[in-house]
Amino acid sequence: MTLHAPSRRELLLASGVLFAWAHMPRAARAEGRDPRFLVIVLRGALDGLAAVAPVGDPDWVRLRGDNALRLDGETPALPLDSFFALNAAMPNLHRMYKAGQASIVHAAASPYRERSHFDGQDVLESGLTKPGAADTGWLNRALAALQPASRVGGKEAFAVGPMTPLVVRGPAPVMSWTPPRLPPATDDTVMRLMDLYRHTDPVLARALEEHKDLAMIARAGGMEKPGQNKGPRPQGPGAAIRAYFTEAAGTAGKFMGRPDGPRIGALAFDGWDTHADEGVAKGRLAILLGALDDALGAVESGMGDAWRETAVAVVTEFGRTARVNGTAGTDHGTGTVALLAGGAVKGGRVIADWPGISDAALYEGRDLKPTTDLRAVLKGVLRDHLRLDERALASKVFPGSEQVKATGGLMMTA
């Protein structure tokens, strides 16, 4: 069996953010299954309350005012159940949810309880409780703990990027796709600078954040080679971002859906830091959520028949403040949402031990209180989808997490 050799355009479309493992999990293979698992990291901290609104909570409209998504009015949302509603920018996820192929875990968070993007991403991707405690990521350690049945493809890597995300760093061999044209500075570097200047020079921090957004858009619209036939440019607000998300995720799905393609992969999308002019219904966040929704649809299409054995987990480093700030945005918070999608997901549910959003119920008086440890969710997927041993999950993948039990019933094969 040979490894799929991607075309130059496919490499360009992947945009250097797909990292994948080329082995099949032995235990799942022995059951006659061939599971796929894709992790999408949203960097910048997603406002979970704006993505999945608790429209049935009596404090919701008081908390968010005109920015509160509702089931009617100027900020309509898509109903999920009698209590939660999905941002209308995500019709694909809503369709998957109604088809029983998507679930939402609300009021979830990693063990991190501070407000630094850099440290929060470190904890999210390392799988440990403190930043800077490991130079390997939980997904790579999960790969190392799996018993591979066989390798798909004939090479370990197409190319090596200059900054492999922490979540996939480690001893297990991981393929990576990188673009020939790299950005001048990594997003981690920009995040670190913004964290630094947010405390010392807020004006400069705001300018840097705006520049970062422009840079992301520029990258999204500039993936082709000079002189290459680019075709019609995306039009309309956020069209370039949506095209970028769709093409990157669609390429990931196309690779992972092949019989000889990788079985486990990771993507990262930046730009979720919404301190000002968040734009829940029509602005920036709505565009980003729409782009993420397009990306999920593109993964589904790219996977083809393999979608029925696929699980996609969408995670972020932390949430946003429960209240809107003075610049119509939200600041760094704690509890947020995790999304699960795919044909292997036992979906159609919002899973939440809802803490409430009254003033007294908020974490530190400002954030959605986390009631579900994100590690429990990821453990549930790794155990029930890939058949990873619980002892390995507690000791190697998420070290020191013996007290965090895997969430059961998330997958069809549980």
Per-residue pLDDT of the chain (414 residues; tens, 9 = 90+): 233 333 433 333 333 456 777 788 889 888 999 999 999 999 999 999 999 999 999 999 999 999 999 998 788 899 999 999 999 999 999 999 999 999 999 999 999 999 999 999 999 999 999 999 899 999 999 999 988 887 776 444 333 344 567 888 888 887 766 544 444 455 555 666 666 556 655 655 655 565 555 445 334 433 343 344 444 555 666 888 888 888 888 888 988 898 888 889 888 888 899 999 999 999 999 999 999 999 999 999 999 999 999 999 999 999 999 999 999 999 999 999 999 999 999 999 999 999 999 999 999 999 999 999 999 999 999 999 999 999 999 999 999 999 999 999 999 986
User: What is the predicted pLDDT for the residue at 225?
Assistant: 38
Angle formed at CA 159 by CA 156 and CA 163, multiple of 5 degrees: 110
CA dihedral 180, 183, 186, 192 (to 10 degrees): 180
Closest CA to 43 of 245, 328, 326, 246: 245
User: What is the predicted pLDDT for the residue at 177?
Assistant: 61
User: What is the predicted pLDDT for the residue at 227?
Assistant: 41
| Distance set, CA 7 to CA 143, 158, 233, 255, 295 (Å) | 27, 11, 21, 11, 20
Joined together, the tokens standing for residue 110 give 């990693």
User: What is the predicted pLDDT for the residue at 52?
Assistant: 98
Closest CA to 166 of 191, 141, 185: 141
**Cα 115 from Cα 369, distance rounded (Å):** 14
The distance from CA 206 to its chain's CA centroid, rounded to whole angstroms, is: 24
Joined together, the tokens standing for residue 327 give 């610049």
pTM value? 0.84
**Cα 127 from Cα 397, distance rounded (Å):** 7
**Cα 339 from Cα 102, distance rounded (Å):** 7
| Distance set, CA 149 to CA 29, 155, 233, 280, 412 (Å) | 7, 16, 44, 45, 21
User: What is the predicted pLDDT for the residue at 270?
Assistant: 83
- The residues near 251 (Cβ < 8 Å, ≥ 6 apart) are 6, 10, 13, 14, 18, 177, 302
Identity at 17, one-letter amino acid code: V
Joined together, the tokens standing for residue 390 give 């619980």
**Cα 157 from Cα 155, distance rounded (Å):** 6
Q: Are 254 and 6 in contact (CB under 8 A)?
A: no
